[in-house]
Structures are given as structure tokens and as C-alpha cells.
């Protein structure tokens, strides 16, 4: 065989063997393959040099070079298998699950029934296209009363006799102040709900000094009372998971005209138990107040009442929770006695 070619083959084999032994990863091995057998590799250069040999030398030299290429390929793939197995083993060792580790455990506690109610109702309203707006619990008299057609001399204020701070601000008595705040902030058209805590001087089985309401406000053109009835009915049915009987009783709020109170069928006894601890045998429970927003309130919100009108409602979230979970005394929601909720009985 041509001496020069033989020398070249020896060099290629020797440097290939060295590189093969040095390659510690499949990635390094791939670099060896490219360097020795790729388009610009040493073996390819030798194969190209065949063209310079005489016609007699070429067949034998070609056979030797092919044999060298087969040998290198064989060694490459066997080394590749070895390295890949080692890499897989190392990765699996890192991923091994230690079954002796302590479990993560279940999170302690759960949502309070009122918070659960708040989340569910807000989610239903968001599904109907409403956004959630929040307002301060320490409120100005102006938003809590004056803007809502309740000047200082108005008798409706007496029903919400409340907690004042020395600076004249007060703990809000309802979520309705968010109506004017939101109108001033966002303008018309508007669809918001505002859930949150409110405070009054109340304390009996269905009245607590701190309770939760969810205000709803829709301002648009030509809004009718039918839209309010449809919206409230849809939200209440979605919350209880079935179609409930409801009734709208004429009522009075200085900030809506006409005003209504919504009663919903007692979900605990369906009106069949005269001793029902939730509805007291009436078959109905008052869920909230509502009505068409008074034009003066729309004006206080910076919106022209001749162009826009709308409705508002305020649902008592604690009452909704009482109904959904069959809780007989509102105060149980706040006294921290969990045995009632665990056993489902009066504590």
C-alpha cells in the first residue's frame, strides 16, 4: 500500500482512539465524530486523497480506508451506547424519589363560609360581565350618606346609627358608598360589584354589628327594572345551584327609586317547617335591597341622569351564607366555635 496513505491512516486511527478515550460525554463524542469523520474530518481528507493514487493502487487503498471507516463507526457507536447509559443512570439517580420523606400534609383550615360565599358570588357576577371594585371601610359621611340622598337631617340615617371617628369619618354602614366613588372614577357605562365589610349598631340572631355586603351597580342607557330582576335571579340561582322562588317587596331606600327588597325561598325548609331556625317558619329570607339608582345619585357620580340610568343592589353575604349552609344564628359565623360547622348542628 501507498506509504503516505498508510502513515495517514495510522495517524487518523491513533488520534481517533485518543479522542475517543478522552470523550466523557455524548456531546464530546459527537465533536469527535465531526472532527474525525465529518465533511472536513481527517478520514474524509484521506478518502479524498484516493483520487491522487494510480489506478492499480486505488482499489486496495479504497478497501483499507472503508475498513478503517467501518471500524471507527463501530467504535463510536459502542462508546456512544456506553456514555448514554451512564448519563441516563446519573439522571435517574438525581430524580429518584425518596419514599421515606415526610408527606407535605393537607393545608390546615378552610375558607370561612362568608368568604366562600363572597368568592362564589363575585365570580358569578364577573361571569355576567361585572368588574370587582373596592372601597374604604373607614368612609367619609359624604359618600356613605350625603351623596346617597341622606343629608344630616334625614331620618333614614337613624336606621344605620353607626360608629364615628373623632375626625368625622365613620365605619361604613353599607357598601353603597362605592356606587358614587366608582361612577366618579370610571364614568358610564359601568358594571361593578363591591364585596366587603360593613358596620352598624345591631346585635341579634339575624343582625350582627359587623357583616358583609356585596354591592352591585349597573349604569347604562335605558336600563329597565326587568334587567335588575333577571340579573339578581340568575345570580341567586347560580349561587344555590337551582331555581329558587323569589319575591320582590316594595321598600324604601333614599338612593333608589323605585326600591325593592328581595326575599328568597328558604333553602333549608322550603317553607314547610314552622319551627325552621333559618326562616322562622315564614318560608322566606331577606337577601338584600335594590332598586333603580336615583337620578340625584347618578348626578353625584358625575354622570348625566338624562342620558344614563341604572340599577343597584346590596346583598347581605352573611344571610346568603346562612341560607346556603343552613346556619340558624348569624353570630355563630363570628364566634369561632368550629364544632357547629363540623357537626352541622346548633352549637
Judged by the rule CB under 6 A, the positions of this chain that interact with ligand FA5 are: 174, 176, 200, 202, 207-208, 211, 213, 215, 253, 256, 286-291, 312-314, 316, 318-319, 330
Name the residue number minimizing CB distance to ligand FA5.
316
Residue 97: CB minimum distance to ligand FA5, A = 51
256-265 and 284-293 strand pairing:
antiparallel
Residue 168 and residue 174: Cα distance in Å, rounded?
17
Q: How far is the CB of 190 from ligand FA5 (least distance, A)?
A: 14
Whole-number Å distance between alpha carbons of 319 and 286 = 8
Residue whose entry in the numeric block shows the C-alpha cell 344564628: 329
Q: Which is nearer to ligand FA5, 33 or 174 (CB)?
A: 174
Dihedral in degrees, nearest 10, Cα atoms 118, 144, 209, 268 = -40
Least distance in Å: CB of 333 to ligand FA5? 9
CB 65 within 8 A of CB 46: yes
Q: Up-side HSE of residue 308: CA atoms within 13 Å toward CB?
A: 22
Peptide bond into 258 cis (omega under 30): yes
Nearer CB in complex with ligand FA5: 13/207: 207
Q: Which is nearer to ligand FA5, 182 or 208 (CB)?
A: 208
Cα–Cα distances in angstroms (integers) from residue 269 to residues 117, 214, 282, 332, in the given order: 20, 25, 10, 20
CB of 204: closest distance to ligand FA5 in angstroms? 8
Q: CB of residue 273 vs ligand FA5: minimum separation in angstroms?
A: 21
Least gap, CB of 207 to ligand FA5 (angstroms)? 3
**CB < 8 Å & 24+ apart, contacts of 24-27:** 24/83, 25/83, 25/87, 26/80, 26/83, 26/84, 26/87
The residue among 58 and 142 lying less far from ligand FA5, judged by its C-beta, is 142
- Shortest approach of ligand FA5 to residue 203 CB, angstroms? 8
Which of 2, 149 has the CB closer to ligand FA5?
149
Is 174 or 181 the residue whose CB approaches ligand FA5 more closely? 174
Name the helix (H) or strand (E) containing 213: strand 210-220
| Residue number, 16 or 311, with CB nearest to ligand FA5 | 311
Amino acid at each position: 500500500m501507498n506509504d503516505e496513505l498508510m502513515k495517514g491512516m495510522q495517524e487518523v486511527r491513533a488520534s481517533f482512539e485518543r479522542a475517543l478515550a478522552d470523550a466523557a460525554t455524548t456531546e464530546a463524542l459527537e465533536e469527535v465524530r465531526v472532527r474525525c469523520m465529518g465533511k472536513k474530518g481527517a478520514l474524509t481528507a484521506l478518502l479524498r486523497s484516493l483520487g491522487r493514487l494510480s489506478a492499480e493502487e486505488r482499489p486496495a487503498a479504497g478497501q483499507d480506508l472503508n475498513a478503517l471507516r467501518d471500524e471507527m463507526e463501530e467504535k463510536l457507536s459502542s462508546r456512544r451506547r456506553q456514555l448514554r447509559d451512564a448519563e441516563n443512570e446519573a439522571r435517574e439517580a438525581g430524580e429518584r424519589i425518596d419514599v421515606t420523606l415526610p408527606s407535605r400534609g393537607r393545608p390546615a383550615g378552610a375558607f370561612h363560609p362568608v368568604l366562600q360565599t363572597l368568592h362564589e358570588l363575585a365570580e358569578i357576577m364577573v361571569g355576567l360581565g361585572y368588574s370587582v371594585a373596592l372601597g374604604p371601610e373607614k368612609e367619609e359621611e359624604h359618600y356613605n350618606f350625603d351623596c346617597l340622598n341622606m343629608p344630616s337631617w334625614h331620618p333614614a340615617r337613624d336606621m344605620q346609627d353607626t360608629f364615628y371617628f373623632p375626625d368625622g369619618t365613620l365605619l361604613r354602614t353599607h357598601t353603597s358608598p362605592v356606587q358614587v366613588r366608582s361612577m366618579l372614577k370610571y364614568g358610564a357605562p359601568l358594571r361593578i360589584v363591591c364585596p366587603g365589610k360593613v358596620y352598624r349598631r345591631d346585635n341579634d340572631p339575624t343582625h350582627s354589628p359587623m357583616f358583609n355586603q356585596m354591592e352591585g351597580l349597573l349604569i347604562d342607557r335605558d336600563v329597565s327594572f326587568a334587567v335588575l330582576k333577571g340579573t339578581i335571579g340568575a345570580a341567586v340561582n347560580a349561587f344555590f345551584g337551582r331555581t329558587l322562588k323569589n319575591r320582590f317587596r316594595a321598600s324604601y331606600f333614599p338612593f333608589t327609586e323605585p326600591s325593592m327588597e328581595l326575599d328568597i325561598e328558604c333553602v333549608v325548609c322550603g317553607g314547610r317547617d314552622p319551627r325552621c331556625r333559618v326562616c322562622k317558619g315564614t318560608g322566606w329570607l331577606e337577601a338584600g335591597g335594590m332598586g333603580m339608582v336615583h337620578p340625584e345619585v347618578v348626578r353625584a357620580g358625575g354622570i348625566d341622569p338624562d342620558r344614563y340610568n341604572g340599577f343597584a343592589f346590596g346583598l347581605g353575604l352573611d344571610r346568603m351564607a346562612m341560607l346556603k349552609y343552613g346556619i340558624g344564628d348569624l353570630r355563630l359565623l363570628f364566634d369561632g366555635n368550629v364544632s357547629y360547622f363540623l357537626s352541622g348542628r346548633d352549637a
